[in-house]
């Protein structure tokens, strides 16, 4: 296996890469835009924003007028996801023409088609219907796309390899990549997750939505997935949870007396008491610690791929975190078969 490069209008994303989700309607967002703290989109190789969050944000018009990069004050790649998953939870939907139009005008580097994710308890008819509508949107976006600088990824859904393969077969040729969703309820079912991802993997870049932890991150990197998005760094911080740099598990700060050693730039200047305050600043500092652990591990993964030592690296991490080992053993079995 090898690291790859995804070329975007705002530079290269070296893979595998974790792109943090920046949730526009979340309280801490403005402090980042005002550059009061280092922003997730500048610390990582790029960021993912959901149209669901953007449309609730007071700067949604400004993004169209000035472009998303000017509003975020960044020169790094920006991905705009259609927000299909969040709209599904609200029982709402958007027209693909609108989604694509917004993505193209915002000047984002990668746009993702509007999708209708599927949940495990849907009836077979409803599942089929939702998948058909998602495929229709993808093919429509491919036809209507005018902005040549923007890469277009088609969302892909399915809970088993057969559905995933059928889905991709129904997509027209010409997408720059694929983005697999509907895995949220399955995230701890590593067998299913890895089975679905191996069916979706082809020569085009593959993105996986909504990764929550290191077991899936390591196993899917090993499977050759190019990019992931995650907002666990932020959600964990909101719950006052600190990612342990050693075990890569989430620690509840209210239950610990002392923090483990951490060499990240935040922990050099701040400690337990700073993180425990109930202010936006405390939440941002904790989120930045969490993010720096995610990004450091992804950097290690790329380095170990280059040195051909990824497998032993993951197994070593698995000694302190059994879920990492469990997910990896499943991935290794699939890859070998």
Looking at beta carbons only, is 51 or 237 nearer to Zn ion?
A: 237
Say how many Å lie between the first and final Cα of the chain, rounded: 16
User: Residue 118: CB partners within 8 Å, gap ≥ 6?
Assistant: 127, 130, 131, 157, 158, 159, 182
Q: Which of 150, 200, 262, 298 touches Zn ion by CB under 5 A?
A: 262
Sign of CA dihedral 311, 314, 318, 322: negative
**Site size with Zn ion, rule: CB under 5 A:** 4
Looking at beta carbons only, is 108 or 285 nearer to Zn ion?
A: 285
**Which one of 141-149, 222-230, 261-269, 313-321 is the stretch in contact with Zn ion (CB under 5 A)?**
261-269
**Which one of 93-101, 163-171, 257-265, 326-334 is the stretch in contact with Zn ion (CB under 5 A)?**
257-265
Residue 267 interacting with Zn ion (CB under 5 A): yes
Residue 253 interacting with Zn ion (CB under 5 A): no
Looking at beta carbons only, is 18 or 267 nearer to Zn ion?
A: 267
Residue 286 interacting with Zn ion (CB under 5 A): no
Closest approach, Cβ 303 to Zn ion, in A, equals: 20
Q: Residues 161-180 vs Zn ion: string with x where CB under 5 A?
A: --------------------
Binding residues among 288-317 for Zn ion as defined by CB under 5 A: 289
Binding residues among 9-28 for Zn ion as defined by CB under 5 A: none
Closest approach, Cβ 216 to Zn ion, in A, equals: 22
Looking at beta carbons only, is 72 or 264 nearer to Zn ion?
A: 264
Residues that bind Zn ion (CB under 5 A): 262, 264, 267, 289
């Amino acid at each position: 296996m090898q690291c790859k490069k995804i070329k975007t209008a705002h530079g290269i994303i070296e893979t595998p890469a974790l792109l943090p989700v920046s949730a526009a309607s979340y309280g801490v967002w403005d402090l980042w835009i005002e550059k009061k703290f280092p922003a997730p989109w500048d610390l990582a190789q790029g960021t993912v924003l959901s149209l669901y969050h953007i449309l609730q944000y007071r700067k949604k018009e400004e993004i169209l007028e000035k472009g998303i990069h000017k509003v975020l004050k960044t020169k790094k790649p920006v991905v705009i996801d259609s927000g299909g998953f969040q709209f599904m939870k609200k029982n709402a939907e958007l027209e693909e023409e609108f989604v694509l139009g917004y993505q193209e005008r915002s000047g984002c580097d990668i746009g993702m088609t509007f999708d209708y994710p599927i949940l495990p308890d849907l009836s077979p008819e409803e599942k089929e219907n939702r998948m058909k509508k998602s495929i229709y949107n993808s093919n429509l976006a491919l036809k209507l796309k005018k902005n040549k600088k923007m890469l277009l990824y088609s969302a892909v859904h399915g809970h088993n390899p057969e559905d995933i393969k059928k889905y991709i077969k129904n997509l027209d040729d010409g997408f720059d990549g694929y983005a697999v969703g509907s895995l949220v309820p399955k995230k701890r079912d590593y067998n299913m997750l890895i089975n679905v991802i191996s069916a979706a993997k082809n020569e085009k870049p593959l993105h996986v939505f909504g990764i929550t932890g290191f077991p899936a991150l390591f196993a899917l990197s090993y499977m050759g997935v190019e990019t992931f998005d995650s907002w666990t760094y932020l959600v964990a911080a909101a719950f006052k949870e600190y990612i342990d740099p050693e075990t890569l598990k989430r620690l509840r700060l209210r239950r610990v007396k002392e923090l483990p050693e951490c060499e990240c730039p935040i922990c050099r200047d701040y400690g337990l008491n700073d993180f425990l305050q109930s202010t936006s600043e405390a939440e941002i500092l904790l989120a930045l610690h969490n993010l720096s652990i995610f990004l450091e591990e992804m950097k290690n993964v790329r380095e170990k791929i280059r040195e051909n030592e990824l497998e032993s690296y993951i197994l070593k991490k698995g000694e302190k975190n059994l879920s990492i080992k469990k997910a990896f053993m499943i991935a290794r079995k699939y890859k070998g078969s």
